[in-house]
Structure 1
């Protein structure tokens, strides 16, 4: 997996662009943003505030988790797809290894409840089932929110699941590290911007098509006939009818080159979301 900073297409120089991420701080998205951009220019925004700030131009870019190897799409993908205008300018996959964070003085045997994002609870479920089967599991908005709630709780019986950075920010200690770490536990973030990056020679393109279920196979046949290599397909509700869906399709190549360029020119109803350096 690549971990270098992405090529950023934007109306501002990359060194000046402001980057919003799903807050509060101390989450995996915070850690991903630090990996990519460093601590400067980062702005933590909770929930729909992130998407509103990107849409109205308060921030230049947004870092959003969109897919995971454990649960598939995240709850945020549809919010991204609902944005009227954006360009996916980079992807960032990261292997996650959760830490169990608690207030100083707590011991593993003290913990009666664990707070984490719902996706995180799914990703660490095998470990929890084996190591802490009787613990109460509580959902939070994110890893940062979970760590923050434990810090404020005043209890030695509550712990959060998330990255170590949450402990550093909120004064927590780690009772266990590397929980469910491995290639099976990978989250992928999109960086949303305004302008498509130039081709790199090893690119991926994401596009969105809304189609009636009866016509979906015909649409796929057109993609295959154009000799375009499909990498992934994610089915999302159309929010219009029961027998139509939105399909996020990811393919090999850059939208401005070769067969892909010709395909999109011939299919103007397809919404190209972005082309960016392929990281996996």
Structure 2
């Protein structure tokens, strides 16, 4: 497995591309984009606006957190799967360590409420339960929105939970760093684009299938017979009936190579979301 926090191992070549991320600035997705692309061409957008801008071609690429080791799938996976035209061109796993950010002059003992994205609150729950069990937990659209809200508040009793970059952008100070940092707390982003990367020799492919429950075991049998290496399966609602589901199936290999290519060609109901260098 690649080093989770090594940006140099995860660099993606970009030339004058407009890259959207979940804004406002100061979110973990903002930090992931800085790791991957540097500061040029980044555009922070609210979730619904981000997906609309990608679908319309207003932005060339989008960076979206799709799974975490603590909560599983994020609220942003389903909107990706709903896009009619999308190619997953990269994945980026990052080990997270949160910072508790507050206005200058505020002390840890002053904090009465912590503001963060719902996923972040779940990821830092063990620390909050132990260190700040009585604090009020308030949800925000993201780490950037949380930090921005704390910076604009007149209260001296609020702090946000997110990446340190939020403090740099909004003039907050860090009261505690590296909260819940560790191999147990990893978020994986997808980079969405238009053109599938060429095989690297160590790739992953994300497949999507809309299938009746009664046929799912047969599909898995066919995948096993094709000697495909299944890495993960995520079940999502079809939003039609109880006995139909969407399945995101991730397998080792590239969809343009070998047994996986043959399987995809023989199974028209299986949609290739993307093949990309495997980082996790």
TM-score range, shorter chain: over 0.9
Post-superposition shift, 1:71? 0.2
Segments of 5+ residues of structure 2 without an aligned counterpart are none
Post-superposition shift, 1:240? 1.1
Counterpart of 2:59 in structure 1 is: 59
Post-superposition shift, 1:7? 4.6
* Secondary structure of the structure 2 residue equivalent to 1:34: helix
CA distance in 2, matches of 1:56, 1:154: 39
Equivalent residues of 2:101, 2:161 under 8 A apart: yes
* Secondary structure of the structure 1 residue equivalent to 2:241: coil
Q: Describe the superposition over 1:171-208 as per-residue Cα deviations: whole angstroms up to 9, x where unpaired.
A: 00000000000000000000000000000000000010
Counterpart of 2:151 in structure 1 is: 151
Counterpart of 2:254 in structure 1 is: 254
1:129 aligns with 2:120: no
Counterpart of 2:207 in structure 1 is: 207
Which structure 2 residues correspond to residues 17-56 of structure 1 after superposition, within 5 A? 17-56=17-56
Counterpart of 1:11 in structure 2 is: none
Aligned length: 275
1:93 aligns with 2:104: no
Post-superposition shift, 1:36? 0.2
CA distance in 2, matches of 1:228, 1:60: 32
Equivalent residues of 1:5, 1:37 under 8 A apart: no
CA distance in 2, matches of 1:180, 1:5: 23
Post-superposition shift, 1:247? 0.3
Which structure 2 residues correspond to residues 103-114 of structure 1 after superposition, within 5 A? 103-114=103-114
Counterpart of 1:190 in structure 2 is: 190
Equivalent residues of 2:232, 2:250 under 8 A apart: yes
CA distance in 2, matches of 1:182, 1:215: 39
CA distance in 1, matches of 2:10, 2:125: 31
Root-mean-square deviation over aligned CA pairs: 0.9
Post-superposition shift, 1:6? 4.5
Equivalent residues of 2:11, 2:35 under 8 A apart: no
Post-superposition shift, 1:239? 1.0
* Secondary structure of the structure 2 residue equivalent to 1:189: strand
Q: Describe the superposition over 1:219-245 as per-residue Cα deviations: whole angstroms up to 9, x where unpaired.
A: 111111100000000000001111111
Q: Describe the superposition over 1:29-76 as per-residue Cα deviations: whole angstroms up to 9, x where unpaired.
A: 000000000000100011110000000000000000000000000000
CA distance in 2, matches of 1:68, 1:133: 24
Counterpart of 2:168 in structure 1 is: 168
Post-superposition shift, 1:214? 1.5
Counterpart of 2:73 in structure 1 is: 73
1:217 aligns with 2:217: yes
CA distance in 1, matches of 2:257, 2:50: 32
* Secondary structure of the structure 2 residue equivalent to 1:161: strand
Counterpart of 1:268 in structure 2 is: 268
Post-superposition shift, 1:5? 4.0
